[in-house]
Structure 1
């Protein structure tokens, strides 16, 4: 009902709706154009959204989605079931290989980290759930890392086959430490284990 509307909440949700796009990040001017809001209003809304990790501001000053929407999406039963199956595998991979293990999802031309497990070492790729980057190569969703390397293996899960997205297992870390061939073997073993499980 009209009297139940909370204008500030609806404005914040309008801002979040803009991020439902193939475009990864937005300038303040682009957000103003998309929402019709003044920049001063947007800055207040974005500051509140950033405080609760719904948005984040990059070093270039552009705005993107934060980690909170991904975290909440994982409460949805299919995502929760996927996490129960995959997170132990990622934890085992990180422990065995000493590198960051992750589950990536490709939707359109965007790659996002759905799950991650970090190794117990200070020199590592600090990838966190909710991180996202543009897809640069259809053959691999690997993130371009300065001084680092990410190795990916596609993952075909029956429980995920109806979704309009692709899943990948990945290992990443400092390039000087990584043995790409050995890590690829670890990914193959773990992916085959997951793919062989009943959904």
Structure 2
């Protein structure tokens, strides 16, 4: 109801909604155009959101989502169930290969990293949950990776929900496509075995 509205909260939520876009980084002018707010108003709202890590400001002055939205999303029941089922698989895949294992979610025009396991190596594909990028086709969620290799395999799922992809990535000098594919196929086989034996 109208009397329950808090104007500052409504404005802050409007700013956050502007980040629901394939675009990953936004200038202040981009956000002003998307929200209709004056830049001075936006700076105050962004300052509060930044303090709670809902948004982050890069060295170039552009804004992107911070870590809090992804952290809160993981508290959602389906996300917790997904993490319980997939994260151990990613951890094992990284331990066995020494490379970055991740679960990606496909949405129209974009891919997003949902879960990740990172190797203890200086040279690695440094993915983070919540990281997003534009994609050219619904059949390939991979980001541009100069000097790197990423292979992916789709997980079966409900066609009414975004598709999920298991990936393995790392420096091309260390991870061949053939080795990545073998590791992914083995991981998928283990996942299917686990699901078949789970009541």
Shorter-chain TM range is 0.7 to 0.9
Q: Given the two structures, how large is their TM-score scaled by the length of structure 1? A: 0.87
CA distance in 1, matches of 2:60, 2:137: 23
1:85: which partner in 2?
85
- Count of aligned pairs: 196
1:173 maps to 170
In the TM superposition, residue 36 of structure 1 has moved relative to its aligned partner by 1.8
Deviations 1:17-51 (A, max 9, x none): 22234444433223212222111111222232233
2:91–2:101 CA contact under 8 A, matched in 1: yes
SS in 1 for 2:133: strand
1:67·1:131 contact (CA, 8 Å) conserved in 2?
no
Distance across 2 between alignment mates of 1:73 and 1:49? 17
Secondary structure of 2:81's partner?
helix
Alpha-carbon contact 1:125-1:174 (below 8 Å) kept: yes
Structure 1 segments unaligned to the other structure (5+ residues): none
Inter-CA distance 135–115: structure 2 relative to 1 (3 Å threshold): same
Aligned to 1:98: 98
Once the two structures are superposed, the pairs formed by residues 57-96 of structure 1 within 5 Å of their partners are 57-58=57-58, 61-96=61-96
- Could you list the runs of 5+ residues in structure 2 that have no partner in the other structure? none
Kept after mapping to 1: 8 A contact 2:22/2:132: no
Cα distance in 2 for partners of 1:140, 1:73 equals 24
Provide the C-alpha distance between the structure 2 equivalents of 1:167 and 1:94, rounded to a whole number of angstroms: 18
For 1:15 and 1:195, locate their aligned partners in 2 and report how far apart those are by CA, in whole Å: 41
SS in 2 for 1:168: strand
SS in 2 for 1:53: coil
Q: Within 1, Cα distance between the matches of 2:78 and 2:182? A: 28
**SS of match in other structure, 1:130:** coil
Give the one of 156, 180, 198 matched to 1:183: 180
Q: What RMSD, in angstroms, separates the aligned Cα atoms of the two structures?
A: 2.1
Take 1:194 and 1:84, find their aligned partners in 2: how far apart are those partners? 12
TM-score, normalised via structure 2 length:
0.87
Kindly state the Cα deviation for residue 84 of structure 1 after the two structures are TM-superposed: 0.0
Q: Deviations along 1:54-86, whole A, 9 cap, x unmatched?
A: 223456544332332122111111111010000
CA contact (8 A) 1:155 1:195 kept: no
Tell me the secondary structure at the aligned position of residue 75 of structure 2: coil
State yes or no: 1:149 paired with 2:149. yes
SS at match of 2:64: strand
Mapped to 1, the partners of 2:185 and 2:115 lie a distance apart of 18
Match of 1:140 in 2: 140
